[in-house]
Amino acid sequence: MKPRLVLTADIGNTTTGFGLFQDEKLVWRDHLPTDARRSAAATADWLRAGLAGRSCDPAATEFGRPALASVVPAATAAVQTALAGIAGKDPILADWRSVGLDMAVEQPETVGADRLVCALAAYESYAGPLAVIDLGTATTLSVVDARGCFIGGMISPGLQTAACALHHLAAQLPLIGWTAAQLPPLELSAPPPDVPLIGTSTAACMKSGIIRGTAAMIDGLTDQIEAQMAARLNRIITGGLAGLVLPFCRSYLHHEPDLLLKGLLILSLRGVTS
């Protein structure tokens, strides 16, 4: 029997996201800055407060096995302990073995758990061949073929990472950045007016190069992958900064903001149905 509630967690380089699924539907999500110094007790207290806002009493609720993906080893143990304390079960830790995709890459153990979990969720929803573009601290592109085999991809600097690097390495370039409140709504059919193609100030030139440049990279690389594979490619975009780039992409991309959490749910439910 499938559990009614499943807790999931994604420890990224910048933020740690949490999700609560009820009857396989995501009903709560929130995030904290990733901090390897944060204790398991502090994380558990924060989680309990969030769950209480959903009228969810962990002590009186039957949880399924939690699932966790981490790319920050130093922060993993505390979150594992917090999830186990709330759910009463040890979390599944995502890696290339637990995700279960066939791997056609060198050193599969070095592939980020976030990339693998997103690839799994995308393949379950869209089938291959496909490319998952994840816009976070790094911009990653992960490719799965028609047989469900993870065959590799690309990694490049994320938008904020690129902006910080330019500021720190070039003496006269300002620090620019974006917050969630500044991201354009995804229903916009035209590019946001504050990112002109040809910038007329240094900051505007940087924004155009970083944001529009990332969009052009996504279009160009996925077109090249599609040509190399000689098959129509499903293109999926996710990550916290997807809304900033998506309006500038020419190709059609399926936007899946909760792709990683959905992949973690799949891992949790596998332990019930297998």
CA distances from 107 to 96, 122, 152, 194 (A): 10, 22, 11, 42
Q: Which of 21, 5, 34 is nearest to 240 (CA)?
A: 34
Q: Which of 82, 78, 69, 89 is nearest to 5 (CA)?
A: 89
Contact 38, 32 (CB under 8 A): yes
To 10 degrees, what angle do helices 40-52 and 73-87 make? 50
Q: Which of 222, 6, 17 is nearest to 137 (CA)?
A: 17
Task: Output DSSP code: residue 63.
Answer: B
Provide the CB-side half-sphere exposure for 274 (13 A, CA): 8
The catalytic site residues sit at 114
To 10 degrees, what angle do helices 113-126 and 259-273 make? 80
List, in order, residues 6 or more apart from 201 with CB less than 8 Å away. Answer: none
Q: What would you report as the CA-atom Rg of the chain, rounded to the nearest whole angstrom?
A: 19
The rounded distance, in Å, linking the Cα atoms of 31 and 256 is 17
